[in-house]
Amino acid sequence: MTTRFNQPLGGNEMPRFGGPATMMRLPSQPTAEGLNACFVGIPMDIGSSNRSGTRHGPRQIRAESCMLRPYNMATGAAPFEHLQVADIGDIAINTFDLKKTVDIITEAYDAILAHDCIPLTLGGDHTLTYPVLRAIARKHGPVALIHIDAHADINDEMFGEKIAHGTPFRRAFDDGLLQNDKVFQIGLRGTGYSPDDFNWARKQGWTVVQAEECWGKSLKPLIDDVRSRIGDAPTYLTYDIDSLDPAFAPGTGTVEIGGLTTWQALELVRGCAGLNLVGGDLVEVSPPYDPSGNTALIGANLLYEMLCVLPRVP
């Protein structure tokens, strides 16, 4: 029997400003059953430490995704020709309890992964990556990690709390969720409290590429090297929108000057083609700080690019 793959609603069928308010105006469904990949939102900012607003990120990313078309003119990728994809909506977090929320997220991703579906997450603050990784590691074992961000997010505590948007990768390390020789943090920058803000990760065997090393050049050689070092290991890609310079993406909670460009972001995500990607997320879009919608528009495009580099279904 020939499988009919879901398609985004085209602009000639319905004006771009109309139609379903789903990612890329794809069909929606309540679970990941029958899907190869899914878009799923986690509308939370209760783990944020500075400016709030990322709870509105998933909705705004979906709204700005209405202009995306199914064929990637740059790479030739046509994900909707070989992947069954839908938007499965948002995780119903407990917006008053962060600790309960992380357990809710892990349980929800256990259910997604039980269908052998690859989740692409619309965030939401970066706290969410930790509970997602707990579910991913239960399914695939410890994973390689490509973490693109202005911040290392390796604090042991924030205000005495072990779980917040500045701690997910310290918790992932503590829980043995990562293959430490295959963890890459790209775009880190800004001020800190001591050299250990970045060097703690290096001491664990992680590779840290600070933003200054990326200025004024193509990042294709960097991601080619990352890909060769990861090999066929199961890999998770987490993209914090504040990795970009605020000239491109001001709509986020903890902006830092001197960041990556949008074309470098595209090089990094497109360069993940060929990896055994088992999940990905785009986090920290805070629409109230960018009335133009451009930050969410970039987020939508990067999520589409993640879809384009997912492994093909046999």
Residue range 112-140, pLDDT digits in tens: 999 999 999 999 999 999 999 999 999 99
Characterize 233-249 residue by residue with b for buried, 16 or more Cβ atoms within 10 angstroms of its Cβ, and e for exposed: bbbbbbbbbbbbbbebb
The rounded distance, in Å, linking the Cα atoms of 170 and 162 is 9
Task: Give percent above pLDDT 90 in the chain.
Answer: 97
Question: Residue 18: which pLDDT band, with cuts at 50, 70 and 90?
Answer: very high
In this structure, of 1-5, 134-138, 145-149, 229-233, the range with the lowest mean pLDDT score is 1-5
Ranges assigned E (strand) in 118-193: 118-123, 143-148, 178-188
312 pLDDT above the threshold of 90:
no
CA dihedral 313, 268, 264, 192 (to 10 degrees): 140
The rounded distance, in Å, linking the Cα atoms of 98 and 65 is 28
247 pLDDT above the threshold of 70:
yes
Q: What is the mean pLDDT of residues 238-256?
A: 97
Q: What is the mean pLDDT of residues 92-115?
A: 97
293 pLDDT above the threshold of 80:
yes
Question: Residue 1: which pLDDT band, with cuts at 50, 70 and 90?
Answer: very low
The rounded distance, in Å, linking the Cα atoms of 59 and 23 is 9
> Which of these, 67, 75, 62, lies nearest to 20 by C-alpha position?
62
Q: What is the mean pLDDT of residues 74-91?
A: 97
142 pLDDT above the threshold of 70:
yes
pLDDT given for residue 32 in this prediction: 98
The rounded distance, in Å, linking the Cα atoms of 91 and 102 is 11
pLDDT given for residue 3 in this prediction: 67
Quickly list H helices, 253-308: 262-270, 294-308
The rounded distance, in Å, linking the Cα atoms of 3 and 311 is 18
Pairing of strands 178-188, 143-148: parallel
Task: Calculate the average pLDDT of the chain.
Answer: 96
- The 10s digit of each residue's pLDDT in 208-219 is 999 999 999 999
